[in-house]
Amino acid sequence: MKSILALLALALVGCASSPPFQSVPLGAKFELLGAIVQAPNEPDWYLIGVNQVNLALGKRLPSRSESLIASSTFFMFEYNADDDTYLNQIMKERAAKNDATRFTVVSVTNELVDFKGARCFTYKTSSADHGAKGVTGNATQYLKTMGMVCRHPSNKAIAVQIEVSHRSPVQEFPTAYLPVANKFIQELQLVDNKVR
């Protein structure tokens, strides 16, 4: 998961000046397989990439030392179990995929929730990114994420993830971006558009 975020952050490095990406209209809606995702209703968001199962948006920020990315992805996770066991297994898989040679996990919180008729878990993470120097080097950036993973109610082998990530030299997720991040996550609509 962090590798996807790292690639998205690298793609967004130039966004502090003139991004080569397409500007996203305020509140634009993107229909993905199994979900409708609404772009933030504020200026300076750009489309990094979109296809049937993934969406990545980046915000132009005043400092080149930070990035803000809003994304959603749809993935198969076939695990025959009740919703809570299924979601707990995804939590375990996420923890196991941490790149311990590059990232030092500062904090992780997960909480099972009901969301618009689906069972989900919300999460918040903070990790020190040591870059190419590995964990023996000093952290130059912190990657903070907040998001949600839902088991799709129309197909129990599918999960939808929606997330906002912030990378900067500061360890905490900036409070100025919390309302935008929370609204982006809460606007998720799970739909049955060929998801069976």
DSSP character for 176?
G
The model's pTM: 0.85
Average pLDDT over residues 75-101: 88
Query: What are the tokens at 54?
Result: 């993934």
Identify whether the C-beta of residue 140 lies closer than 8 Å to the C-beta of residue 169: yes
More confident residue, 63 or 181: 181
Phi-psi region of 93 (alpha: psi -120 to 50; beta: other; left: phi over 0): alpha
Band (pLDDT 50/70/90 cuts) for residue 121 is: very high
Residue 132 and residue 137: Cα distance in Å, rounded? 9
pLDDT at 9 over 50: no
Would you state the pLDDT for residue 8? 40
Mean pLDDT is lowest, of 23-27, 31-35, 136-140, for 136-140
Would you state the pLDDT for residue 134? 59
- Condensed to tens digits (0 to 9), the pLDDT of residues 55-66 reads 999 999 988 889
Identify whether the C-beta of residue 125 lies closer than 8 Å to the C-beta of residue 105: yes
Band (pLDDT 50/70/90 cuts) for residue 195 is: low
pLDDT at 40 over 80: yes
Would you state the pLDDT for residue 95? 85
Identify whether the C-beta of residue 10 lies closer than 8 Å to the C-beta of residue 48: no
Domains located in the chain, CATH noted: 2-190 (3.40.1000.10)
